[in-house]
Amino acid sequence: MHIEEHRWYSPNLDRDMALRIYGHWGRPFIVFPCSRGRYFDYEGMGMIDALSRFINAGRIKMFCIDSIDSESWYHFRVPPALRNARHEDYDRYVCREVVPFIRDHCRLPHDRIMTNGCSMGAYHALNFFLRHPDLFEGTIALSGLYRLDRPEFGISSEDLPDVFFNSPLSYLPALNDRWYLEHYDCSDIIVCVGQGAWEEESIEDTRCLDALFREKSIPAWVDFWGNDVNHDWPWWYRQMNYFLEHVCG
């Protein structure tokens, strides 16, 4: 398997950032790690091996990037508005630095890119796609939470205005702009959750998301797996293989 690692100083984040590439060719995916995760976690947790048949066959090319969750949504010592501002720095890093890098590396100067992630990575994958459908052509989001006003993030409903535009279940109900909806219409949107251990909150958010997609006629594949399907890597391996057969088959 072809593997590369790149790092550079990010002017948008004012710090060094790294990413790792898996594959020589194929449909490009930007991969967001789990909460407070690193760019090498997809490999370390076994996902790259689980997807090796797609990668080695040149069907997908994975660009695994770093998170800054500990400086944004998990930085509990600062108020939500400042956490949101730091996430906006990350948004600019992804859209203005990583996306052009991926396009140049794949020699696809105008193509959109798929997003992917599990757990907190699924939140990022969906949120980046929904906010920037001109840059991203779809998502495979597994076992995510899709609203920020919850105890896990120390954000209450009173704080919601400060993080509103990064909380998908908050901004989607009022999103009626045809520009966004037309881009969603020609995208591959896949959201999946199990119904086993540690998935309770993800199930709730995924059901709300499914209802919103249906209400707005946004074509999305929202899939609920069985009661034995837990919030854990072995199931995410199986889900990714299953969905990649459909989007890259």
Domain count, the chain: 1
| Neighbouring residues of 163: CB distance < 8 A, sequence distance ≥ 6 | 80, 81, 83, 84, 148, 149, 155, 170
Please report, in tens digits, the pLDDT of each residue of the chain (249 residues total).
999 999 999 999 999 999 999 999 999 999 999 989 999 999 999 999 999 999 999 999 999 999 999 999 999 999 999 999 999 999 999 999 999 999 999 998 778 899 999 999 999 999 999 999 999 999 999 999 999 999 989 999 999 999 999 999 999 999 999 999 999 999 999 999 999 999 999 999 999 999 999 999 999 999 999 999 999 999 999 999 999 999 987
CA distance 99 to 16: 17
Q: Print the domain residue range for 12.
A: 3-247
CATH number at residue 32: 3.40.50.1820
**Do strands 221-224 and 27-32 pair parallel, antiparallel, or not at all (unpaired)?**
unpaired
Beta bridge partners of 32: 117
